[in-house]
Amino acid sequence: MPTYDFECQDCRKKFELFLSFAEIASQPTIRCPECASQNIQRVWTAPVMWMQGERTLSAGSKAPSAGCGCNR
């Protein structure tokens, strides 16, 4: 089951919830486990960072080399 990260906008508590796609689609009311606030923001973490990391990695492996012969 996918894990979703949330952050409470009131007390800045971060927490994870296991929710199915159906549960997410029905937009359930999520409460902060710390202060019971409903002012919760979804935090997008792993997928975005993973894609950026891979892009940086492939760009780094194509670092400019001295022997390209382009200024001949």
Q: Footprint of Zn ion on this chain (CB under 5 A)?
A: 8, 10-11, 13, 32, 34-35, 37
Scanning the structure block, which residue is given the tokens 């994870």?
A: 16
Least separation in angstroms between residue 15's CB and Zn ion is: 9
The least CB distance from residue 37 to Zn ion, in Å, is: 5
Query: What contacts 16, CB < 8 A, 6 or more positions away?
Result: 3, 4, 5, 6
Going by their DSSP bridges, the two strands 40-43 and 14-18 should be labelled as unpaired
Nearer to Zn ion, 33 or 53 (CB): 33
Q: Which is nearer to Zn ion, 5 or 10 (CB)?
A: 10
